[in-house]
Amino acid sequence: MKILITGGAGFIGSNIADALIGAKHKVVIFDNLSSGKKVNINLKAKFYWSDITDKKAVDDIFRKEAADVVIHLAAQIDVRKSVEDPRYDAGINILGSLNVLDACVKNKVKKVIFASSGGTIYGECASKAPDEKSFPNPLSPYGIAKYSVENYIKFFSAIHNLKYTILRYSNVYGPRQDPKGEAGVVAIFAGKILANEPVFVYGDGKQLRDYVFVLDVVNANIKALTKGDNQTINIGTQKTTSVNDLAKVMSKSSLNYTQSPVYKPARDGELFKSFLNISKAKKELGWQPKVNIKDGIKETLKYFKKINAENK
């Protein structure tokens, strides 16, 4: 099977590409390297350095490659940036995605797998983890854009018979996440801890998140190649970890770390609790997470230690 991955040089996309190549699929990566890195790209993948906002480039590449499946991950991923500049966010996340969907239809792509955001679409979560029937309540332009694209995908499916699986991720973490980026507290903490610098905790640190390891997310995408047609599916762990507990787990996993967290004022608009019901993923994909938070943190820190050693 030939699979084209938009955002395939990024954190999640490059891990998916490696797994697909390992399973003997042909992989094409489409990425503008704004947040992705060339070093992440598997040498067996075909790479195009381009942007989903460039409609002509999208059309040309999709026509040339004639992929069977498109995994669409390319996005503006910074929630705070979306709040500061909603037009910029929409230009990439909505209009860029429409370019991808148009090209899928024109070139008879059999299926699109879309990386959506369970961490932002449901808004503030109560005591019960939201399932896919829960009413969406995105509180940021980023979440609004992701939910908008989900609905555009359903439109393209109804009008053009384009098959899809929408995967709503919780907070994904693991190797290759950018410790200097604006998204991904695990990677940010890892960068600070390995430099023996204090981590910054905004608010009281009691905020709860559903952290899912990247290789579990990879496995969900692989299963979605042949399952979950025309379904929207949560991908998480259905468990919560506070920011305080995350900092403790990560600190204990690094033997030489001597710093204590530094608490700063809470940031406006930040959710207190976010986690996902994953019953549908088990039913439709035969998927469930295999990596617990402690093991995932160990693997993540091991990766960043290796990268630090290589860069010295």
The DSSP-derived string for 17-78 is HHHHHHTT-EEEEEE--SSS-GGGS-TTSEEEE--TT-HHHHHHHHHHH--SEEEE------
Angstrom CA distances, 115 to 8, 165, 172, 220, stand at 12, 9, 11, 11
Tokens, residue 164: 């899809």
Evaluate whether 54 touches 6 at the Cβ level (below 8 Å): no
Q: Is the pLDDT of residue 179 over 70?
A: no
Average pLDDT over residues 113-131: 90
Average pLDDT over residues 229-239: 97
Q: Is the pLDDT of residue 219 over 70?
A: yes
The residue ranges of every structural domain in the chain are: 2-170+213-236+280-284, 185-208+240-274+291-311
Q: Is the pLDDT of residue 197 over 60?
A: yes
212 has which bridge partners? Answer: 172
For the annotated catalytic residues, the residue numbers are 142
Pairwise CA distance, residues 284 & 297, whole Å: 28
CATH topology of domain 185-208+240-274+291-311: UDP-galactose 4-epimerase; domain 1 (3.90.25)
pLDDT at residue 180 in the model: 58
Rounded to two decimals, what is the model's pTM? Answer: 0.94
pLDDT at residue 272 in the model: 83
Q: Is the pLDDT of residue 269 over 80?
A: no
CATH assignment, 2-170+213-236+280-284:
3.40.50.720
Average pLDDT over residues 233-261: 90
Pairwise CA distance, residues 260 & 251, whole Å: 9
pLDDT at residue 183 in the model: 57
pLDDT at residue 127 in the model: 81
> In this predicted model, which residue has the larger pLDDT, 271 or 120?
120
The pLDDT confidence band at residue 312, using thresholds 50, 70 and 90, is low
What's the mean pLDDT when you consider all of the chain?
Answer: 93
Would you give the DSSP letter of residue 265?
P
pLDDT at residue 77 in the model: 85
Asked which of 58-62, 125-129, 219-223, 262-266 is least confident by mean pLDDT, the reply is 125-129
Average pLDDT over residues 4-27: 97
